[in-house]
């Protein structure tokens, strides 16, 4: 499917999963990730005619491709890049390469956002307002694109491995018999720095002068060692 191909290609270029998701959310809104999508006309031969020079592709006013390029300079740039690389204007990989080229060269603030920011909503808005520039930019339209971007992130981004469950301690434990003061040293003259409540347990480190050392100290009279 186009989704994984587009994700892998854009992630390789941006190096940022958040930015990649934001771009894809916008492309989904524009073209449903279809590189041959054309608006304003029903012509199954449109791509072939464009490749063969039988239509004025750059100036015909029809939005085309993943991005829905429409303005003549941008659309002409897409056509020129396709010809330069020997591929069709409807070629998926070619369009992704041109998208990156266009952002890097002409939309530098957008490129900065998609390669560095970790805020999907913020990047999505930037791509929408400064790169795609659709007619409808109200809050509902922005939210729809950002929500779609989040779905792509959730689907494809690598998730960190869950932390391993703590292994049971092999050391003896100390359990409070009742509420007992925690002191900074083995003696009542050491300042109180907290409390260990009844039935709470902590790992035993050492025993000294009638106190259990449990990273800090609790008086033995009010705690007991358990296995």
Beta bridge partners of 183: 192, 217
Whether residue 82 sits in one domain with residue 21: yes
Neighbours of 35 (CB within 10 A): 22
Can you give the residue range of the structural domain that contains 15?
A: 2-156
Whether residue 132 sits in one domain with residue 217: no
Task: Please report the pLDDT score of residue 167 as a whole number.
Answer: 61
Nearest-angstrom CA–CA distance, 161 and 224: 38
- Does 61 map to a domain? yes
Nearest-angstrom CA–CA distance, 111 and 119: 14
Q: What is the DSSP string of 87-143?
A: --TT-HHHHHHHHHHHHHHH-HHHHHHHHH---HHHHHHHHIIIII--S--SHHHHH
Q: Could you list the pLDDT tens digit for every one of the 227 residues in the chain?
A: 789 999 999 999 999 999 999 999 999 999 999 999 999 898 999 999 999 999 999 999 999 999 999 999 999 999 999 999 999 999 999 999 999 999 999 999 999 999 999 999 999 999 999 999 999 999 999 999 999 999 999 999 987 777 676 665 566 777 877 788 888 788 888 888 778 777 778 777 778 778 877 766 767 777 777 76
Whether residue 179 sits in one domain with residue 74: no
Torsion angle of alpha carbons 29, 32, 35, 41, nearest 10°?
A: -80
In this structure, are residues 225 and 172 in contact, taking their beta carbons and an 8 Å threshold? Answer: yes
Task: Please report the pLDDT score of residue 180 as a whole number.
Answer: 83
Nearest-angstrom CA–CA distance, 216 and 46: 77
In this structure, are residues 91 and 48 in contact, taking their beta carbons and an 8 Å threshold? Answer: no
Whether residue 109 sits in one domain with residue 44: yes
C-alpha closest to that of 47 among 62, 32, 33: 62
CATH at 189 = 2.30.30.40
Nearest-angstrom CA–CA distance, 90 and 58: 14
C-alpha closest to that of 157 among 27, 40, 2, 4: 4
Number of domains, the chain: 2
Task: Please report the pLDDT score of residue 207 as a whole number.
Answer: 80
Alpha helices in the chain (DSSP H): 2-14, 17-31, 46-51, 72-84, 92-106, 108-116, 120-127, 139-156
Whether residue 109 sits in one domain with residue 220: no
Whether residue 133 sits in one domain with residue 35: yes
């Amino acid at each position: 499917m186009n989704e994984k191909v587009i994700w892998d290609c854009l992630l390789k270029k941006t190096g940022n999963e958040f930015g990649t998701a934001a771009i894809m959310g916008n492309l989904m809104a524009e073209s449903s990730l279809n590189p041959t999508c054309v608006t304003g006309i029903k012509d199954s031969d449109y791509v072939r005619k464009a490749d063969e020079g039988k239509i004025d592709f750059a100036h015909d006013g029809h939005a085309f491709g993943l991005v829905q390029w429409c303005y003549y300079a941008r659309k002409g740039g897409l056509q020129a890049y396709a010809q330069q690389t020997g591929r069709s204007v409807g070629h998926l990989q070619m369009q992704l390469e041109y998208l990156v080229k266009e952002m890097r060269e002409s939309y530098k603030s957008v490129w900065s956002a998609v390669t560095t920011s970790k805020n999907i909503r913020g990047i999505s808005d930037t791509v929408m307002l400064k790169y795609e520039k659709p007619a409808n930019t109200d809050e509902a339209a922005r939210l729809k694109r950002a929500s779609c971007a989040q779905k792509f992130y959730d689907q494809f981004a690598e998730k960190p491995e869950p932390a391993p469950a703590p292994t049971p301690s092999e050391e003896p434990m100390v359990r409070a018999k009742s509420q007992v003061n925690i002191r900074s040293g083995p003696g009542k003259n050491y300042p109180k720095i907290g409390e260990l409540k009844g039935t709470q347990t902590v790992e035993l480190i050492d025993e000294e002068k009638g106190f259990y050392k449990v990273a800090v100290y609790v008086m033995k009279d009010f705690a007991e060692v358990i296995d």
